[in-house]
A and B are shown apart, each in its own frame.
Chain A
Amino acid sequence: MQDYVYLMLSAALVNNVILARFLGLCSFMGVTTRVDTAVGMGLATTFVITVSSMLNWAVEAYLLKPYDLLYLRTVTFILVIAAAVQFTEMTVRKISPSLFQMLGIYLPLITTNCAVLGVALLLVEGRMGFLESVLFALASSLGYSLVMVLFAGLRERLAVADVPPLFAGPPIGFIVASLLALAFMGFSGIGAH
């Protein structure tokens, strides 16, 4: 149990997908203008990353490795991720059209999010079992969501702050993101043994 906790803490905070591995930066800068949209995007990405990682683990374990097809890993994973996003979209639309009207706009943005492919590749390289892979993917995506919400809150505050014209817009955004990455470096060392 303790190993699982360290695994999740490491994935979510120490090796954060956005601030340590620099994945998913498009959505990080593009969908964090408001906290509520960041929450929606973060939870949608959490679902897609977890489900697609589960599927990718199965494809790696039962198809690619036994039949010596590891050279197809990247292409196959991208295909699985696209299918997972389509599945999510169809499922949400089926569960509730009202929910789809509210949440459907985020789903196309997730297909090309490199964080999804990055997490899948990281967990197969880590040679983890199935439950460890699912927990790793879940924790990574929760860390992603956490950073999205934090940054959205900071941007909302920056919107009413007195920023010098030279730094207004993307420059101050990147500076704030860098400071956030520095702050997350304080987590390094947790779980190391």
Chain B
Amino acid sequence: MPDFPEQSLTESGAALVEGIARVVAVEGAVAWLEPEQGPSCAGCASVGCGSKGLGTLASRLAARRFPLTDCPDLRVGDRVVVGVRGDALLKAALTAYVLPLVAMLAAAILAQSLAGHDGVTLAASVAGLLLGLGIARRWASRLTARGVIAPRFLRRAGLGSSCRLTESGW
């Protein structure tokens, strides 16, 4: 039977979603981790993938490196299991994508009702989008400061651990 992605709980009982990462650098007490390539990553790295021209898989994984400070005695090459709060992805997506869209739409509707001209509505939409991005940036800083979207060290990964979520492969 295929496995569900493993979940553990925080001290407050919130569900954590686990993933596997590899230590790529250690700077004092801070370890830099890179997510391990999963099945979807392999799909993107295939020859037929249209997004290949926008950046290699290696550069994309490198761009997603993140630091960990609460980890004991990690060395380069170690594989660890990290956890992220289950609601973190939803909050992150709402902050990064929904906030700017709402601001853009509100500006567009306001401009259309006041001016009734497509060009003015377009300009107002762009302004609303930029304003929304500014608000999203501030909100993201608050989320980061509160540790809502930060991954945390759970344990070292076993030899047979992988980030495959199911055995069916579909």
**Among candidates B122, B133, B144, residue contacting A54 with C-beta atoms closer than 8 Å:** B122
Known A98-B143, A173-B170; contact A34-B5, beta-carbon cutoff 8 A: yes
Is the C-beta of B24 less than 8 angstroms from some C-beta in chain A?
A: no
- Chain A interface, DSSP helix/strand/loop, else mixed: helix
- Most B CB contacts (10 A, CB to CB) among A33, A58, A95, A134 go to A95
Known A112-B51, A134-B108; contact A43-B170, beta-carbon cutoff 8 A: no
- Chain B interfacial residues counted at CB < 8 A: 58
Q: Which of A11-19, A85-93, A180-188 lines the interface with chain B?
A: A85-93
State the CA gap A30–B66 with chains docked (Å).
26
Q: Which of A67-75, A99-107, A119-127 lines the interface with chain B?
A: A99-107
Are A96 and B144 within 8 A (Cβ)?
A: yes
State the CA gap A47–B137 with chains docked (Å).
16
Q: How far is the CB of B92 from chain A (nearest CB, A)?
A: 5
Is the C-beta of A61 less than 8 angstroms from some C-beta in chain B?
A: yes
Is the C-beta of A10 less than 8 angstroms from some C-beta in chain B?
A: no
State the CA gap A30–B137 with chains docked (Å).
30
Is the C-beta of A82 less than 8 angstroms from some C-beta in chain B?
A: yes
**Among candidates B60, B96, B101, B168, residue contacting A138 with C-beta atoms closer than 8 Å:** B101
Known A98-B150, A138-B101; contact A54-B125, beta-carbon cutoff 8 A: yes
Are A95 and B125 within 8 A (Cβ)?
A: no
Please name the residue on chain A nearest to B44 by beta carbon: A108
Are A129 and B98 within 8 A (Cβ)?
A: no
Are B92 and A47 within 8 A (Cβ)?
A: no
State the CA gap A91–B101 with chains docked (Å).
14
Please name the residue on chain A nearest to B97 by beta carbon: A47
Contacts of A109 in B (CB 8 A): 40, 44, 51
Q: How far is the CB of B24 from chain A (nearest CB, A)?
A: 14
Contacts of A129 in B (CB 8 A): 118
| Residues B143-170 near A (CB distance < 8 A) | 143-144, 149-150, 165-166, 168-170
Contacts of A40 in B (CB 8 A): 89-90, 92-93
Contacts of A108 in B (CB 8 A): 44, 51, 54-55, 60
**Among candidates B2, B35, B89, residue contacting A36 with C-beta atoms closer than 8 Å:** B89
Is the C-beta of B109 less than 8 angstroms from some C-beta in chain A?
A: yes
Contacts of B169 in A (CB 8 A): 169
Are B101 and A50 within 8 A (Cβ)?
A: yes
Is the C-beta of B136 less than 8 angstroms from some C-beta in chain A?
A: yes
Are B54 and A111 within 8 A (Cβ)?
A: yes
6 sample A-B contacts, Cβ–Cβ < 8 Å, listed by A number: A46-B101, A82-B54, A96-B137, A108-B51, A130-B122, A173-B170
Binding site for B on A (CB under 8 A): 29-31, 33-34, 36-37, 39-40, 43-44, 46-47, 50-51, 54, 57-58, 61, 82, 85-86, 91-105, 108-109, 111-112, 129-131, 134, 138, 156, 159-160, 168-170, 173
